[in-house]
Structure 1
């Protein structure tokens, strides 16, 4: 019989939800990640944090780390994960994570246009 190494998902306790971070693409327990959802705004969508995991709609998951936020912005991952297109304002998420100003995130106007 062939012995296989157990994958990361098998190491997690059964019944614990595992999600993928849209920034770094690593799998982690849902309790370790921040859920974000898209809300309709005047000029597109606002990506807002959902720490209680109660807001309606499709969610995306992100490590509560400014580095993962920067990678998600650079990869334009929010639009694809949330299945929205157009202007995305992520200032609420950046403010919650309190990203340092020198990290590449412009906290005055975090937004980008999704090409989805």
Structure 2
């Protein structure tokens, strides 16, 4: 069974802080991280600081845009991920 993952990238705001933004086309430059687009996976990635490590940034980023995006998908039933999967972030 194929599972679609959501790509996110860290965008610098210029003063050493970052925001995680959703890259729906997987075309944005920079290091990306992949995760299941379901709220439990996103919350687990945030809690474990997996995004900070996967994106190789030095401090926890602002994840509000990611959380809002995934919650909107979940509310509209448009999610493509599966709740059955355990891993939250896939990076190399």
TM-score by length of 1: 0.56
Residue aligning to 1:24: none
Q: Work out the CA distance in 2 between the residues paired with 1:54 and 1:93.
A: 17
Q: Work out the CA distance in 2 between the residues paired with 1:74 and 1:96.
A: 18
Q: Which has the higher contact order (CA 8 A, sep 6+)?
A: 2
Work out whether residues 43 and 87 of structure 1, in 8 Å CA contact, stay in contact via their aligned partners in 2: no
Shift of 1:77: 0.3
Residue aligning to 2:6: 34
Gap regions ≥5 residues in structure 1:
1-11, 13-27, 101-116
Work out whether residues 10 and 21 of structure 2, in 8 Å CA contact, stay in contact via their aligned partners in 1: yes
Shift of 1:74: 1.1
TM-score by length of 2: 0.70
Q: Work out the CA distance in 1 between the residues paired with 2:16 and 2:71.
A: 24
Q: Deviations over 1:45-79 (max 9, x none)?
A: 01100011010000000101000001101110001
Q: Work out the CA distance in 2 between the residues paired with 1:43 and 1:98.
A: 27
Which of these two proteins has the greater Rg computed from alpha carbons? 1
Do residues 80 (structure 1) and 60 (structure 2) align? no
Gap regions ≥5 residues in structure 2:
75-92
Q: Work out the CA distance in 1 between the residues paired with 2:17 and 2:60.
A: 5
> Cα RMSD between the aligned structures?
2.0
